[in-house]
Chain A
Amino acid sequence: DTAVSQTPKYLVTQMGNDKSIKCEQNLGHDTMYWYKQDSKKFLKIMFSYNNKELIINETVPNRFSPKSPDKAHLNLHINSLELGDSAVYFCASSQAPGSNYGYTFGSGTRLTVV
């Protein structure tokens, strides 16, 4: 069983479109995250939810909107896609805010905007 699963794995779309990436974790963790990895492998946190409540919201364009229907799911919706949104997006989860157990990552969604 995959612990943190993201869909789709690859997403190619045109500028201006709206798309969603889904994430689910079956670890019973309380906290979930979205990270963006650029072409140089640099990782930047975007959002964090704890038990459906937003706790970290970095400086991200408001075209990006996370949604957490329950603590096992954290989806990312992106409106009006731009070329600069092309990246790999990773979902992750951890046991609880402040815990030192580290994160469990999904395998990523490679988004290409053309």
Chain B
Amino acid sequence: GNSVTQMEGPVTLSEEAFLTINCTYTATGYPSLFWYVQYPGEGLQLLLKATKADDKGSNKGFEATYRKETTSFHLEKGSVQVSDSAVYFCALKTSYDKVIFGPGTSLSVIP
């Protein structure tokens, strides 16, 4: 079946450090891939997306590239800020409108 795997957290980084959160997926067909972010006490917000192989999604300094050959969609940011502290969810969408979320990775950025 379809599934999403993310690196386990929590991840703790110092401000201005480089961030990578790994995400790999298993899916039939050609899924669209997403990253969502959940700030404390809030709902999920769409961060970025990619709909086909080799697409790069980007937003707010975050980037992820859809790699079909490695079935991956790793999230990166060159310099994290304290305000980036949140839980990050990788997700995929294949067949008729069902989005499957990964387990989430908690990120804490310390000054």
Contact = CB atoms under 8 A, between A and B. Distances in A.
Interface string A13-53: 00000000000000000010000000011110100101000
Contacts of B42: 107-108
A114 interface: no
A56 B97 contact: yes
A105 B101 contact: no
A62 interface: no
Interface stretch (A65-73, A76-84, A93-101): A93-101
Contact of B103 (A42, A99, A100, A103): A42
Contact of B96 (A45, A55, A90): A55
Interface string B69-111: 0000000000000000001010001001111110110100000
Nearest to B51: A100
A104 B47 CA distance: 11
A55 B36 CA distance: 23
Closest 9 CB pairs of A and B: A105-B43, A97-B97, A102-B46, A43-B101, A41-B104, A105-B44, A107-B43, A100-B32, A100-B51
